Amino acid sequence: MATPHIAAEKGDFAKTVLMPGDPLRAKFIAEKYLENPVLVNNVRGIQGYTGTYKGVKVSVMASGMGMPSMAIYSYELFKEFDVENIIRIGTAGAFSDELRLKDVVVGMGTCTNSNFASQYHLAGTFAPIASYKLLKTADQVAEKLGIPLHIGNILSEDNFYHDDPNVNEGWIKMGVLAVEMEAAALYMNAARLHKNALAICTISDHLTRHEYATTEERRTAYTQMMEIALGMAVELDA
């Protein structure tokens, strides 16, 4: 049944949903990869499509920007639409000197400066981690496709602009690979609802070398992470 944010019915979404941040990237994936894609949601311009890929039912829907937006959409998909697996396919800014633009990073765990976990009233600090099932599948699919993965810790930020110019130094010192703005909320929703989540990100910026991709590249050129996620949907359906 429809929610305040998703105008769809049960059964409209596949068990596996790919979630880019940008609605236009969701549209691009649906049109480029899915057979017979159907628009199942467009509330607030957050486009969601369901079709098939290699005979397997797959959905793709945008999450919007930031953890509050990701938290709403992923929670509703998991809880109200019986989605089992959400694979974030987004962009990230690199911290590590080993990373280059267009490299693919997978978040095994996510650090965060968000207060999202406070709602659970835990007697300590919660460590948001990926579903091992999805992580293992991503690694296997990427190996078959010949796509190198950088797997490790990422940072989910609440702030895009910082008053402190040295804010990233501590994370870099601790070996955090890259920064994005959604994965921690996704991982915590998945943990709370006993579902599966993974963030696969393409490096669009290098924050210490000051290298930046174009808007068009962000939307349409980062096909490797899309193909990994689609391959995972097929494997997860087997």
Give the C-alpha separation, 183 to 128, whole Å.
9
**CA-based nearest residue to 112, from 178, 75, 158:** 158
pLDDT of residue 120: 96
Give the C-alpha separation, 70 to 82, whole Å.
17
Any idea what the Cα angle at residue 33 is, between residues 17 and 106, rounded to 5°?
50
pLDDT of residue 219: 66
DSSP 174-211: TT--EEESSHHHHHHHHHHHT-EEEEEEEEEEETTTTE
pLDDT of residue 1: 64
Q: Give a yes or no: residue 6 inside a domain.
A: no
- Note if 205 is an active site residue: yes
Q: Average pLDDT of each block of 10 consecutive residues along the chain (238 residues)?
A: 79 95 93 94 88 97 95 95 96 94 96 96 96 98 97 95 90 96 98 98 90 76 92 94
Q: Give a yes or no: residue 7 inside a domain.
A: no
pLDDT of residue 29: 95
Number of domains in the chain: 1
Q: Give a yes or no: residue 195 inside a domain.
A: yes
Q: Give a yes or no: residue 10 inside a domain.
A: no
pLDDT of residue 9: 80
Catalytic residue among 12, 139, 158, 205: 205
Q: Give a yes or no: residue 161 inside a domain.
A: yes
Whether pTM > 0.85 for this model: the answer is yes
pLDDT of residue 24: 92
Q: Give a yes or no: residue 111 inside a domain.
A: yes
Range of the domain at 88: 16-237
CATH number at residue 111: 3.40.50.1580
Q: Give a yes or no: residue 9 inside a domain.
A: no
Q: Give a yes or no: residue 62 inside a domain.
A: yes
